[in-house]
Amino acid sequence: MPDLPFVVSLFLLITFTPLSADVIYKGRIHHWVDGDTVDIQFHDLEIRLRLQGIDTPERGEAWWKRARKELREITEDQDLSISIRGWERGCRKGNPKRGSRFEAVIFLADGRSVNDLMVNRGYARRWCQEPWQNLKEHYGSLEEIARSKQIGVWGDKAFNFICTVEDSECDQ
């Protein structure tokens, strides 16, 4: 059982740290949920992370297993730096608590961003609901390069992975 003061401290630290400041944790992924969501072990706590600013095919859609496999191949057995950037309110299937998770950018030991690699390799797109314009532009430009090269999902003409506002699962 996780130490309650530790859990509360972690939550407060992440909640009240300005988004411009990086809170970096070292760790490894122990479970790959899909191509943009992972679980890490932090002390006695399992923490769910969403790769901030990107979106991959959802469970059950074409390409979701391949996106998860790609993420696992990039990160498995790697010492990672995890930059917690925020909190995503859950909104899946009408349940406001289901799906809540921390948003993060994950870096490999050599400094490359896992988030960038997923988009560069054609397994992720910019996240349509991203509130930070600089992330929309950054991931959007990486997405355009992958699309022009027709790699990953972009090479599959039958799979519609174009970002639209209707992609949101949340009630606005």
Residues ≥6 apart with Cβ < 8 Å to 44: 1, 2, 3, 6
Q: Using 50, 70 and 90 to split pLDDT, how confident is the model at 97?
A: very low
Say which DSSP state 53 is in.
Answer: T
What is the torsional sign of CA 41, 46, 50, 56? positive
Whole-structure pTM value: 0.79
The full set of domains in the chain, from first to last, is 4-167 (2.40.50.90)
Alpha-carbon distances, residue 76 vs 29, 57, 109, 114 (angstroms): 7, 20, 12, 12
Average pLDDT, the chain: 81
Q: What is the mean pLDDT of residues 130-134?
A: 69
Q: What is the mean pLDDT of residues 39-47?
A: 85
Q: What percent of the chain clears pLDDT 70, i.e. is strictly above it?
A: 71
